[in-house]
Structure 1
């Protein structure tokens, strides 16, 4: 039994779980029965924290003067970080302290979530009660009896996880320093309630940049020609292989090739082989479910946690790995056998060996804390599956499908492109011919593949002019946003930074959904159907930020990399804290030198209605006339119109030039491009 042999028969270990539901599963596996506020058996007493019991002191806990936000008090740098009990958590902490102080309790086992934050919960809890007893750590990958027993059998002294705990503390302290000081600094200087964070403002800036690109997009119109060809053996369509600037030019080509004969000039064939997606980590699962069902990131996060903790149908959900360990291969065979849900019967019937799965999915070096998300071997799976909600079934299905796909052959097809020349014009035709469906779902009928030969002649049957309106980039969905958050390397040119961003990204798999949710709660971001869009307060916050380090991904990615270095024992925690403090001190000094003009009183232009008043900012609502109170002039432009931010430049254009730039708006029937026009009496849209 390893460590357990060190303890006498009548001694017990106090186990700290993170949630009651997890404690219940530990109790079942370890033979413990329910008491008052804990479970107890011959060897273990199990308690739970219900999340974080303790947190870092707030500034006012160090000194009451910090209750009032003043720039001159910044930066606030504690002489060591202190922790306190969260409101409403005192009783839980006292219960844990009382149990641990029992004479027969000779050691404590932290069995919280098997990652940095779980370590932090355990560390802060034991610090708060000033624990003096030996501490061990159990890492649990799945909440079934086999994995739980294995986790406790293989628990290690906490010294083996010291660096992980230091990384967690560093993350907490850095985010406290940046969030506390910068939120206060920007709020006081700009006279607004701002919440600034290391990752949040970077994420928000991505959304604001995309919105700006869309609003500044200039739509263009181009033309093409699509021609239908036919002979005795085949019939197909081809598209002119370049775009045209005018409709007249397109119609001239249609006229030129009418009733003419074409010749198939060249045929290019290329075999494509597409592997299934790797086993999912949490980021992949969020993206896959959002693509298929449109569920929001935090919703997928919560459902995955329920499938793991409550239903015990999947492995640990908040993982960043896409692989499993070699030691799990026999378990994998059992998992496949237990999946007896009808909708997966065809995929299961196509599985003929496990070697393909092993080659794709087994890599011990790429499993650090947890494996990829996979279904678990479960008795009576069909009955348990029926009890799931529709959304839980959908997320579970995506996980099972991804798992089974990795046993199947690649999807292979032949990519065919051929040219048809008519007079001096060239038309291109593309088609894909399926060779092996493999993991990809079979469609009822593949598109008809046209068989042609090089040098073959065809007749022009018909031609039509095609109009093409250019489109702006699409707004971010959870799928596309989380793709960028995981790998934001394309936003930087520096090779070294690209490498860091590929390895670290913005936030972690366990925090990205919560970061986005927090931005929505604070009113900086909103959802419109499937899209994630910055609000006016969000856009204003990004405009007011005075350093790229809080807007671009490299700063937070470097910190994430350094946190990993602390966890790997390659960097001293204090070095990272010192560097963060140096940045804070420099940046806050820069902020203190800023003089913010009172924009509410700066005239943007003369009122187009009364001709006497000035148009100024009307607090946070928009722009109005200074003669509102004296003469009742009612001129007003909202700061947001149909989801589009109207800034001072556009208001000035409207007043002086009677129209704004072309902007993108979100109407009831979808997005459209338009100018806002002033017709002398009121504003109206001029669509494009």
Structure 2
């Protein structure tokens, strides 16, 4: 009997499909029933590679072998998942399998994963497509009842392959070309670029450049305090003739701002203590609820409200979709629902009432939503509405909404995200909020002062949010009788100054990426521009993480700040004249073309021809310049040359004295120095410990940099860093303050080099071996924390350790063991319901890093 092979993207989805369809028997890595064989990938199983004839074996970072533009691409298995690929290939080739069902995620990446597997298996068997927006059993059954023909997905498949190949071509050639350029004068200076990540970085650098160049301008505002029969109120002076300009110079102009202090003081003197006439206009105003969430707007709001990174939000939304089945497919760019979705919406609202959902579900959460869900159903507010139900505003996926599955066992972050989505879902069916807006003009000696009031008359959708949605309402104004004269009892002159634009947070960066750099506040207009954005909702989080991982960005609380390495890359690309990699609008246009390809409006051949042309241009420009000729806006250091006292100026690659041969390379051991760090080095002749260096094997290390007697920089890892103090001199700690008592021998502990050490652990006569790094797994350990560790046995919770094995951040306390060694203690978490409580887990640095810590308690290594 013939069967169809169903291939899902992940094992958990395969399990869901097996439960929904029923009748399956579980084998090692697949299920089987009378009609189907069912298995899954584990994400991507294959990656692009150059065909053997075009692959550069040696000198791949040399200009001589660039550009690499093969006529076609081969695929190679990803090593860690190769056993799964072999299983799927075997199942595809089974004689009783006469057709395939693509059950991978509904989108570009899912299409790519499936098609690469079929291509690798050289299968010509017919394909059908399962298209799921929700992971409930009902949705899965409905999906199998209306499988699409594989041919319908050709546009999506072409766009997926083009995206993959274009990223390979631009990433490989661009990165090799820029690395070759930066390595001309010696060393190996890896300089990564990408078709989407580099224009995104350009947005950040442009904003940071504006902040650095910003010069504050003072201005003044006048605020009058007016007394009338019913009480007092305040009003701001404003220029009635003001018209907002459109040039950059007018950016800070406002009707209420006065740029001349003498005029401001004259107006203050003119109006203070005088009586005034009042005119008032009151008119109704309405405010619609926000649109339903797509992924980008969800990530923005979660970052603004909870500080969640874009990557964390995507992970939580994916878990709510895939594991808990309580949200629809999250990787969407649509903010509307299908026009035939009204019955599903009503059924979902019935679930949110909490009635008939059975035991075990989160009754507290459902109790929050029940009155609003009841009200929507009772008043029949779910009606055809193009703002909510609109097929024209949906491509592959619709907006993120709750499913017919009631929530249970959600973690706190999952609960926060689910609550955001449900409230937005409930709010969109409520009527608009209604306000009365009052504008009062008080004229004193002919000078106008404006007072505005906003009173909520009918909360409408704001009722779903309670106080949270009503923050910022100004409230009622004190009443003024008709023709009543008021007294300007006091006129206050407030002096302030203009501020630079704020740095990007992940929320505002996502907005900028969505609009290809154009900051647009209007949600409807933003939705219209989204098709020309940088990346897609599904990829933007990873782009930001890549920029952080490559040290192009640092995360400071919720702000993202570009590094010197980012500025250097933009200087290089702008100097070379490669707008294809720096212009957000131009790169957003490529994304728009991929979307057109999905709809069958553009051919794969035409798009790839344009990408090949772009790749050739990038390499040609890099070949045609020398590093000394790259133009840029380079500065001058405030600190003089340590060798001759001359001026030290920045060039593309160095900090160079203009009067002698003294110079410092900007990039050392793959790390680029900030100008401020070089200032510190020249002033104090030492800086550190600092992180971010990489040795020849690509492994990170931390070090102190010192200027030696010849004014050359060199690494200093601290005396005895390698455990050999036999020839060392005694260390004089008399000028330092002790941090506490050594946990091993009760002597004193001091900061020394890259570590905190027992005074008896250094020098030729050492008798103790206590040493703990100032930087452990890329987390700086400040002196205050070491004092706490020595005094109490543990530090505060430190949040920026990075695992040497997984490369992921983790939080832990540093604790002092019974033997005096320093180890990790992880934050105690509340045990899950009906699970036995777990003991706190304490690890030494050896167990966390996978390496012995007997000689060195800190995973700090000297550059190899």
Smaller-chain TM-score range?
0.7 to 0.9
Asked if 1:102 corresponds to 2:94, the answer is yes
In 2: Cα distance, 1:366 partner to 1:389 partner: 33
Tell me the SS of whatever aligns to 2:384. Answer: helix
Match runs of 1:75-90 below 5 Å: 75-90=67-82
Asked if 1:358 corresponds to 2:384, the answer is yes
Selected match of 1:420 from 438, 442, 447: 442
In 1: Cα distance, 2:315 partner to 2:635 partner: 49
Selected match of 2:566 from 538, 545, 550: 538
Structure 1: segments with no counterpart, 5+ residues = 1-9, 493-497, 656-688
Query: TM-score scaled by structure 2?
Result: 0.67
In 2: Cα distance, 1:286 partner to 1:148 partner: 27
TM-superposed deviation, 1:647: 8.8
Note closer, same or farther for the CA distance 1:609–1:117 as it changes in structure 2 (3 Å cut): closer
TM-superposed deviation, 1:329: 1.4
**1:561-613 C-alpha deviation (Å, 9 max, x unpaired):** 221222222222111111221222233222211011299xx997994665456
In 2: Cα distance, 1:636 partner to 1:463 partner: 57
TM-superposed deviation, 1:268: 3.2
Tell me the SS of whatever aligns to 1:459. Answer: strand
Selected match of 2:106 from 107, 114, 119: 114
TM-superposed deviation, 1:253: 3.5
In 1: Cα distance, 2:69 partner to 2:645 partner: 52
Asked if 1:311 corresponds to 2:308, the answer is no
Selected match of 1:150 from 142, 145, 149: 142
- Name the counterpart of 1:391: 413
In 2: Cα distance, 1:500 partner to 1:544 partner: 33
Note closer, same or farther for the CA distance 1:638–1:488 as it changes in structure 2 (3 Å cut): closer
- Is the contact between residue 627 and residue 652 of structure 2 (CA under 8 Å) also seen in structure 1? no
In 1: Cα distance, 2:193 partner to 2:458 partner: 51
TM-superposed deviation, 1:358: 3.5
**1:387-442 C-alpha deviation (Å, 9 max, x unpaired):** 21111110000000000001111012122212111113221111112222111134
Note closer, same or farther for the CA distance 1:365–1:254 as it changes in structure 2 (3 Å cut): closer
Note closer, same or farther for the CA distance 1:638–1:40 as it changes in structure 2 (3 Å cut): closer
Match runs of 1:22-421 below 5 Å: 22-31=13-22, 32-58=24-50, 62-66=54-58, 68-191=60-183, 192-241=189-238, 242-247=256-261, 249-264=263-278, 266-339=279-352, 340=354, 341-351=366-376, 352-355=378-381, 358-359=384-385, 360-379=387-406, 381=407, 384=408, 387-421=409-443
Note closer, same or farther for the CA distance 1:113–1:243 as it changes in structure 2 (3 Å cut): same
Note closer, same or farther for the CA distance 1:163–1:502 as it changes in structure 2 (3 Å cut): closer
TM-superposed deviation, 1:231: 1.6
TM-superposed deviation, 1:173: 1.1
- Is the contact between residue 142 and residue 314 of structure 1 (CA under 8 Å) also seen in structure 2? yes
TM-superposed deviation, 1:295: 1.0
Deviates more, 1:603-612 or 1:74-83: 603-612
Selected match of 1:555 from 579, 582, 586: 586
TM-superposed deviation, 1:80: 1.2
- Is the contact between residue 501 and residue 553 of structure 1 (CA under 8 Å) also seen in structure 2? no
- Name the counterpart of 1:15: 6
- Is the contact between residue 10 and residue 40 of structure 2 (CA under 8 Å) also seen in structure 1? yes
Tell me the SS of whatever aligns to 2:230. Answer: coil
- Name the counterpart of 1:450: 478
Note closer, same or farther for the CA distance 1:423–1:261 as it changes in structure 2 (3 Å cut): same
Note closer, same or farther for the CA distance 1:96–1:238 as it changes in structure 2 (3 Å cut): same
In 1: Cα distance, 2:447 partner to 2:423 partner: 46
In 2: Cα distance, 1:71 partner to 1:14 partner: 47
- Structure whose residues are more often helix by fraction: 1
- Name the counterpart of 2:245: none
In 2: Cα distance, 1:240 partner to 1:213 partner: 30
In 2: Cα distance, 1:25 partner to 1:603 partner: 60
In 2: Cα distance, 1:347 partner to 1:308 partner: 23
Tell me the SS of whatever aligns to 2:340. Answer: helix
Note closer, same or farther for the CA distance 1:491–1:60 as it changes in structure 2 (3 Å cut): farther
**1:645-675 C-alpha deviation (Å, 9 max, x unpaired):** 5499x98xx99xxxxxxxxxxxxxxxxxxxx
> How many pairs does the alignment contain?
623
TM-superposed deviation, 1:255: 3.4
Asked if 1:431 corresponds to 2:464, the answer is no
In 2: Cα distance, 1:647 partner to 1:292 partner: 33
- Is the contact between residue 5 and residue 91 of structure 2 (CA under 8 Å) also seen in structure 1? yes
Note closer, same or farther for the CA distance 1:38–1:122 as it changes in structure 2 (3 Å cut): same
Match runs of 1:497-512 below 5 Å: 503-512=531-540
Note closer, same or farther for the CA distance 1:59–1:42 as it changes in structure 2 (3 Å cut): closer
- Is the contact between residue 30 and residue 44 of structure 1 (CA under 8 Å) also seen in structure 2? no
**1:31-88 C-alpha deviation (Å, 9 max, x unpaired):** 1232111112221111111111111105878434355311121111112111111112
Structure 2: segments with no counterpart, 5+ residues = 184-188, 239-255, 355-365, 521-525, 684-864
Asked if 1:615 corresponds to 2:661, the answer is no
In 2: Cα distance, 1:75 partner to 1:427 partner: 65
**1:162-214 C-alpha deviation (Å, 9 max, x unpaired):** 22111111111111111111111111012231111111111000010110111
- Is the contact between residue 453 and residue 476 of structure 2 (CA under 8 Å) also seen in structure 1? no
Note closer, same or farther for the CA distance 1:152–1:206 as it changes in structure 2 (3 Å cut): same
Higher relative contact order (CA 8 A, sep 6+): 1
Deviates more, 1:324-333 or 1:183-192: 324-333
Note closer, same or farther for the CA distance 1:267–1:16 as it changes in structure 2 (3 Å cut): same
Pairwise CA RMSD: 3.3
**1:126-166 C-alpha deviation (Å, 9 max, x unpaired):** 11111132222111111111111111221123111122111
In 2: Cα distance, 1:636 partner to 1:424 partner: 64
TM-superposed deviation, 1:347: 3.0
